[in-house]
Structure 1
Amino acid sequence: MASFQRKTFLPTPLVPVAGFAAIIFLGSLMLRMLSTSTGAHIPWIDALFMATSATCVTGLSLYDIGTQFSPWAQGTLLLLIQVGGLGIMLLSTVLLMAVGQGISFASRFLIQDTYTYGPRAHLRTFVVRVMLFTLVIETAGAALLVAAFVDRMPWSQAVFHAIFHSVSAFCNAGFSLFSDSLVGYRDSVLVTLVMAALIVLGGLGFLVLHETFRAPRQKRPWPRLSLHSKLALTTTIFLIGAGTVFFLCCEWNTTLARQPLSTKILASFFQSITVRTAGFNSLDFSQMKDLTLLGTILLMFVGASPGSTGGGIKTTTVAVLVALSRARFRGSPCVHAFRRTISDETQRRAFSVFVLSATVVVIGTAFLVGSELSPLPLAESRARFMEILFETTSAFGTVGLSLGATARLSFWGKVTVIALMFIGRLGPLVLAMAIQPRKDSGHYEYAEEPVMIG
């Protein structure tokens, strides 16, 4: 047992990187071998793209999986979505526990840093609860969706569609078996609310779910929540409310035109939730105003909460940066939120995540502009720039929304989007930790010198 714990094949930060890469490779092999509904086999680069999109729970697709993929290929995508949503590190831990193996201290702290903010939680209990939450929520969601789907399709097909969409929604994947995503169900209160609930629960993070479900059993539940949960919940609620009003105002006379008021509110509410990481759509984004697309890009960049199935820079990162900005404007040396002080280390990590993420989006946009727009005339390439920026942010935020650029990607465009989805799922900070050079043993500081700002 002891020898197993001391033996390490990879540096700890590289474990999730290698794990996700291995799952994507195996998934691409399976998709390459499985035939489509017409009996043909998809190209290798397309198989790699689809496997990456499923494992990284993004939802960008080169095919209409509901009509062009066979049931076995759809099942493979579903498996990759579930594995990617829970995280390869968590599943590896479950397997180690199942065979009675020990877990190294390095792996233990990596898992806890991924799924919770500190070492307080007992790892074995925490993993069991994560699996239980996932099973219960996805099962409940599937059961409710069956009631909505069974009116439009046979019972067996309705059950598979319900399971697929429940897992895809909770894992914030955005894959749909319907050609128009959920446009056909935008006036269905049941489908909209169930899918929205699954997306929000999956996007909050397992720690927040655990504390939230436990809170009602305690006196004064809100003060007993951790600062992390308070920031995640308040930021999520604010973004959902502000996003609903934003979509309602911007699209009132365009994609929401000629719709009853109830459908307008319901569709705006759903889009406000799904654009941050899930990728389902009940409105046609290709017909939306540029202002709406710009707001959508910002929401996609923010994403879900830490330790969740979603991507983006995370809600708590934005909350910490807002608290930092407020403290600086007030001239306060300390950064506070909910009567707690946010540590300097947390502030530095939030700023690092923001800068690295913005850098990845800019570089990814530049690569896509070079590969997709360079051969086009100047006027046409400028007209499609918003489309490229939208695609880049959607891939990095693991959202999966597209204005149509995915289906037209060149070989190098597909490679770029694959890299964006991979980086976006693992997080720029995790990758930076994985490839950072060894620190010098010497400890010293240079002399300070002021720099003019502004």
Structure 2
Amino acid sequence: MKLHRRLKKILNPISLPVLFFMAAIFIGALLLHAPFSGGKGQVSFLDALFTSTSAVCVTGLAVVDTGTAYTRTGHIVIMLLIQGGGLGIMSFSTLALYLWKKKVSLTDRIAVGQSILNNASFHLGSFLVQVIAVTLLIELAGALLLFISDPQGFPPFSALFHAVSAFCNAGFSLSPDNLMRWKGSWPINLTIMFLIVLGGLGFSVIIESASFFPDLLRRRKRRHLHDAWHVNIVLKTSLFLIAAGALYIYLSEFVFFKPYLPVNEAVLTSLFQSVTCRTAGFNTLNIAAMTDASLLFMILLMFIGGAPGSCAGGIKVTTFRVLHAFITAQLKGRHQIVIGKYAVDRESVNSSLTLLFFSVAIVFFSVIALNFTDGGGVSHGQTQGRFLEILFEAVSAFGTVGLSADLTPKLSSGGKIIIIFLMFIGRLGPLVLLSSVQSFGTKLLFSRPEEKISIG
């Protein structure tokens, strides 16, 4: 009886994503460590575990060169891990959003069984088929565009690999310099950016946005205004962050400091780096050679990430928008936090503040740990910018971005374990992990008397 209760707690609905990703990562590590996956010499198990975690969590950080360290079989394994991780993320997240719209509590939000099956309008099989069909259609279209744009640089398998990696916001590349050789190619850049943006918006927003067009053509008003409100927030905030990031990077790289690219390439690379900071991990510029001003702003963009229900990580654009509205309301002395036509409910505001606190705390303590394992053990004057590299690496891992200032290949064994932990936590999200841990506890049936405390 006790064993049954323990298993029931471990296999509770909120823990399913945690168990799903852990199992996928472990299986992927075993496959990548196998002789048939290794290229130039067999990859160590820790490096295989790192690569598997990075692929399943669609991050893109790599301790070895993906193109040469693994065979074609290894590349297929990595692509399948990316695809499985991306589909798993979008499926779990979209189901969570669906249940959220149906006013299901946080504890039961991922409980697909009873909560969804009681709804006659929802068919789980059709839903999963729709997710897979839309994902594959977008990826195949992207692969075809890459192949047409550069058949030699992107042969069929390479085109498909990069399309899957881009849409799932993974950032894995088979080229040793990532996409730097195509920094001036508008067709390649636009295709990759298109895939990244769609993957960062998420299945729910893509479907909702697509359903707007027939109504617009017929001049009908949307029935579900709240859905339109959510999509509107995601699209507007995402567009603002992309535009702001591109302008800032262009100014910090090519205006205030010595420009090193023609204007057309400077504009394109600035836009691309802004888009890829949405947790994609591709780069057309040498990240380690960028200015500190650019890297600091990119850290902010990576920390925010993409939309909920997408392949992107970070605290999400909706959280950022709610926090912005919260600060605005506090400055104006208003009680309600208003975004557009609606006020945000108190639970969402509390969740946003909690998410921000835990995210900052996780990154902060991880940076401390990385300074112990990879800080060099020398004085601040001797590190020569190592702290910024470590901070950039930690936020990139937590936001499942995959960009690196050349620190990943140099990580110690302890540093690799810390980054693996960050990628895993960042992919699931601190709130999901916290809810999973809380599900093992017991609720108190009493409350204590409250008292005011002096603040500020």
TM-score, normalised with respect to structure 2? 0.88
Using the TM superposition, give the Cα deviation of residue 449 of structure 1 relative to its aligned residue in structure 2, in angstroms: 0.9
- Give the aligned partner of residue 353 of structure 2: 351
Q: Check the 8 A contact 2:169/2:312 in 1, yes or no.
A: yes
Provide the rounded CA distance (Å) in 2 between the counterparts of 1:43 and 1:285.
27
What CA distance in whole angstroms lies between the structure 2 residues aligned with 1:322 and 1:120?
Answer: 38
Distance in 2 separating the partners of 1:324 and 1:267: 33
**Residues 160 and 254 of structure 1: CA distance in aligned 2, closer, same or farther (over 3 Å):** farther
Identity of aligned residues (%): 39
Give 1:188-203 correspondences, 5 Å limit: 188-203=185-200
Corresponding position: 1:452 with 2:455: yes
Deviation of the 1:76 alpha carbon: 0.5
Residue 50 of structure 2 aligns with an amino acid whose one-letter code is: F
Match of 1:381 in 2: 383
Following superposition of structure 1 onto structure 2, how do residues 271-350 of structure 1 map, counting pairs within 5 Å?
A: 271-350=273-352
Confirm whether residue 205 of structure 1 aligns to residue 202 of structure 2: yes
CA distance in structure 2 between the partners assigned to 1:272 and 1:314 by the alignment: 15
| Corresponding residue number in structure 2 for 1:164 | 161
Q: Which amino acid aligns with 2:44?
A: P
Partner AA of 1:79 in structure 2: L
Q: Which residue of 1 aligns with 2:102?
A: none
Name 1:141's counterpart in structure 2. 142
* Alpha-carbon distance between aligned partners in 2 of 1:440 and 1:137, rounded to the nearest angstrom: 45
Equivalent-residue separation in structure 2 for 1:121 and 1:328 (angstroms): 41
Give 1:404 deviation, angstroms.
1.1
Partner amino acid, structure 1, of 2:314: G
Matched residue SS, 1:341: strand
Residue in structure 2 matched with residue 250 of structure 1 by the alignment: 252
Structure 1 residues 185-240: Cα deviation after superposition (integer angstroms, max 9, x where no partner): 11111111110010000001111111101101113678944322111111100001
| 1:5-47 deviations in Å (ceiling 9; x for gaps) | xx95612221111110111000000000034665521111111
Letter in 2 for 1:210: I
Structure 1 residues 90-140: Cα deviation after superposition (integer angstroms, max 9, x where no partner): 48x99xxxxxxxxxx999840679xx9xx8982524333222210111111
Output the amino acid matched with 1:417. I
Q: Please state whether the residue corresponding to 2:175 is helix, strand or coil.
A: coil
| 1:327-347 Cα shifts (integer Å, max 9, x gaps) | 111111111111111100010
Deviation at 1:68, TM superposition (A): 2.6
Seen in structure 2, the aligned counterparts of structure 1 residues 89 and 209 have a Cα distance that, compared at 3 Å, is closer
Q: Partner of 2:406 in structure 1?
A: 404
Give 1:183 shift: 0.8
| Deviation, structure 1 residue 370 | 0.6
What is the distance in 1 between the residues matched to 2:256 and 2:167?
30
Asked whether 1:367 is paired with 2:369, we answer: yes
Task: Note the residue ranges of structure 1 that are not aligned, 5 or more in a row.
Answer: 1-6, 95-104
Aligned to 1:45: 46
Partner SS, residue 235 of structure 1: helix
The reply to whether residue 395 of structure 1 matches residue 397 of structure 2 is yes
Given that residues 202 and 308 in structure 2 are in contact (C-alpha distance below 8 angstroms), is that contact kept between their aligned partners in structure 1? yes
> Are the equivalent residues in 1 in contact too, given 2:29–2:45 (CA < 8 A)?
yes
Q: What CA distance in whole angstroms lies between the structure 2 residues aligned with 1:367 and 1:122?
A: 46
For structure 1, which segment, 126-135 or 402-411, has the greater mean C-alpha deviation from structure 2 after superposition? 126-135
8 Å CA contact 1:24, 1:48 repeated in 2: yes
Q: 1:440 aligns with which of 428, 434, 443?
A: 443
Tell me the alpha carbon deviations over residues 261-294 of structure 1, each in whole angstroms, 9 at most, x when there is no partner.
2211111111110012001001111111111110
Cα distance in 2 between the residues matched to 1:278 and 1:270? 10
2:96 maps to 1:132:
no
Q: Is residue 25 of structure 2 the alignment partner of residue 24 of structure 1? A: yes
Cα separation, 2, equivalents of 1:330 and 1:70: 59
Q: How many aligned positions are there?
A: 429
Matched ranges for 1:173-188 at <5 A: 173-188=170-185
User: Which of 427, 430, 433 is the equivalent residue of 2:432?
Assistant: 430
Alignment partner, residue 110 of structure 1: 110
1:65, distance to aligned residue in structure 2 (A): 1.2
Over 3 Å counting, the alpha-carbon distance change for 1:296 and 1:256 in structure 2 is farther
Secondary structure of 1:336's partner? strand
State the match for 2:4 in structure 1.
none
Question: Secondary structure, in 3 states, of the residue corresponding to 1:226?
Answer: helix
Q: CA deviation at 1:256?
A: 8.3
1:276 aligned counterpart, secondary structure: coil
Task: Tell me the amino acid that sits aligned with residue 290 of structure 1.
Answer: D
Counterpart position of 2:101: none
Distance change (3 Å), C-alpha of 1:446 and 1:127: farther
Inter-partner Cα distance in structure 2 for 1:301 and 1:192: 23
Residue 415 (structure 1) aligned to one of 408, 414, 417: 417
Letter in 2 for 1:399: V
Deviations 1:53-105 (A, max 9, x none): 101000000111112321001111000000111116948x99xxxxxxxxxx9
Please give the alpha-carbon distance, in whole angstroms, between the structure 2 residues aligned to 1:289 and 1:203.
26
Q: What is the deviation of 1:433?
A: 0.6
Question: Using a 3 Å threshold, how does the CA distance of structure 1 residues 329 and 449 change in structure 2: closer, same or farther?
Answer: same
Matched, 1:269 2:266: no
User: Does structure 2 conserve the Cα–Cα contact (< 8 Å) formed by 1:20 and 1:88?
Assistant: no
Moved more, 312-321 or 444-453: 444-453
Say if 1:108 and 1:123, in contact at 8 Å, map to a contact too.
no
- Kindly provide the amino acid, as one letter, of the partner of residue 375 in structure 1: G
Moved runs in structure 1, 4+ residues, more than 6 A?
105-108
The answer to whether the 8 Å contact 1:35/1:42 transfers is no
SS in structure 2 opposite 1:399?
A: coil
> Residue in 2 aligned with 1:72?
73
